[in-house]
Amino acid sequence: MSPVTVGLIGIGVLVLTFLIGMPVGFAMAFVGMAGFCLLVSPDAGLSLLARDFFANLSAYSLTVIPMFIFMGSIAYASGMSRRLYEAGYTVFGQMRGGLAMATIAACAGFAAMCGSTNATAAAMGRVALPEMKRYNYNDSLATGCVAAAGSLGILIPPSTIFIIYGIMTEQSIGKLFIAGVLPGILLAGLFITVVVILCKRNPNLAPGGLPTTFKQKLAGLAGVIEMMILFALVIGGLFLGWFSPTQAGAAGAFGALLIGLARRQLTWKGFLFAVKDTLRITCMVMIIVTGAIIFGHFMAVAKLPLVLSEWVGGLPLPPMAIMGVIVLLYLLGGCFMDALALITLTVPIIYPVVLVLGFDPIWFGVIIVLVTEMGVITPPVGLNVYVIKGVAEDVPLETIFKGVLPFLAALLVAVGILMAFPQIATFLPGLALY
């Protein structure tokens, strides 16, 4: 059997192990090790397992992951998500669909402190959903908008997906972070537009809330200011070359800790919750990344990325059409696979193709994040939808998936806009001072 055939069989076996419910990180490590044993030697495959585990777990570049997750967890434990929502409410609250708009704006704000889609959805869902219920918002709109806006968590920096993409493709994490800012604002705007359109078509979906006083608006501003300080510290520090990514994450986590203590909102119990939450998410992410690295080594000896990039590079199609097909494949893959697993599994295979086609790696990172955002809300494996289901237990899953659909259309529009105007993603990284 040729190495390429073994590689293709390996992918088939991996998908099968995913479908029977083996944890995705374990499955990638297992199949990757077995494939390496087969193609190189049993000794080499077994030794690869231990070496890759140690190399990844002890990689300084990967310690950025727990730091940014810690920052988000502390921000949540310090009540920052609630204060951001209250700020959003003072601006949009009295408008029709205003609470949904406030939720999207608050998600965008929380995304500036948190790098995960499900953490953003969970944090804002716990705050926003009871409020929208109180004002008789349509369940589908309320849950759909939090699930979709929660996905902004990985587009607006910091972002675990940008970190993982940056490490896998050796691109600057700082530049990737900065590249996500404008597309993040664009997407938040598109999500708000979706709410406006939906409410125009059916005013009963989302009644307006009570007006707020100037004093309340001023008080709401405090929630935005603390978010802006953290964002400026972390992203500004990266932008100006003050911090390495790990240092930026640590500075952000420390800043969130200080804000929580200064506001007397972070209790010892809240801090311990943040530690445990960070460990669980970090461990889950690190095991998937390590599994993907082992699987990537198997793919490399199977020569699959090389063969694929040569084949795609020779296709008589314009690069943008091939990119369209890649995005479509990601969209389909995202329906059936966990988004993080999909990215870690496919980036080593697809990335050489993207380079051959002449696309900007930073721009492709933003596209990857957008398709990942779709993956976390598309049925049947949309993780964010399950997170929201965990918060709104009385709402059927189908209702949430239905509510997510208009926002999915907005995500597709965003991908289209970014394909037509790549400068939206590449403009800011071009200004970085390093």
Partner 1 sequence: MSGKLERLERFVDSFSNWLNWVAGVGLVAILALTVADIFGIKLAQAGVPFFRPIPGGIEVVAFLGVVVTAFAIAYTQILRGHIRVEFVVMRLPPRAQAYIAAFIWLLSFILFALLAWQSFEYGLSLQAKGTVSMTQRIPFYPFVHAIAFCCIPVCLALALECFKSVRKAVKG
Q: Which residues bind partner 1 (CB under 8 A)?
A: 17-26, 29-30, 33, 46-47, 49-51, 53-54, 57-60, 62-63, 66-67, 70, 242-243, 246-247, 250-251, 253-254, 275-276, 278-284, 286-288, 336-338, 340-341, 380-381, 383
C-alpha–C-alpha distance, residues 431 and 363, integer Å:
15
- By C-beta, is 378 or 399 nearer to partner 1? 378
- By C-beta, is 254 or 427 nearer to partner 1? 254
CB of 154 to partner 1, least distance (A): 15
CB of 384 to partner 1, least distance (A): 13
Report whether 302 contacts 7 (CB < 8 A).
Answer: yes
| Best CA proximity match to 82, nearest among 262, 226, 190 | 226
Report whether 105 contacts 88 (CB < 8 A).
Answer: yes
- By C-beta, is 84 or 294 nearer to partner 1? 294
C-alpha–C-alpha distance, residues 33 and 49, integer Å:
6
CB of 184 to partner 1, least distance (A): 24
| Best CA proximity match to 294, nearest among 57, 42, 4, 36 | 36
CB of 66 to partner 1, least distance (A): 6
- By C-beta, is 19 or 197 nearer to partner 1? 19
DSSP secondary structure string for all residues of 212-270: --HHHHHHHHHHHHHHHHHHIIIIIHHHTT-S-HHHHHHHHHHHHHHHHHHTT---HHH
- By C-beta, is 22 or 185 nearer to partner 1? 22
CB of 192 to partner 1, least distance (A): 30
Is the backbone peptide bond immediately before 319 cis, with ω within 30 degrees of 0?
no
CB of 90 to partner 1, least distance (A): 33
- By C-beta, is 246 or 309 nearer to partner 1? 246
311: Cα within 13 Å, side-chain hemisphere: 9
Report whether 365 contacts 166 (CB < 8 A).
Answer: yes
CB of 250 to partner 1, least distance (A): 4
- By C-beta, is 127 or 168 nearer to partner 1? 168
| Best CA proximity match to 13, nearest among 232, 2, 33, 389 | 33
Q: Structure tokens of 372?
A: 């990942």
Q: 233-267 burial string, b = 16+ CB within 10 Å, else e?
A: bbbebbbeeebbbbebbbbbbebbbebbeeeeebe
CB of 42 to partner 1, least distance (A): 11
- By C-beta, is 341 or 425 nearer to partner 1? 341
DSSP secondary structure string for all residues of 282-334: HHHHHHHHHHHHHHHHHHHHTTHHHHHHHHHHTSSS-HHHHHHHHHHHHHHHH
CB of 89 to partner 1, least distance (A): 32
- By C-beta, is 108 or 342 nearer to partner 1? 342
Report whether 68 contacts 162 (CB < 8 A).
Answer: no
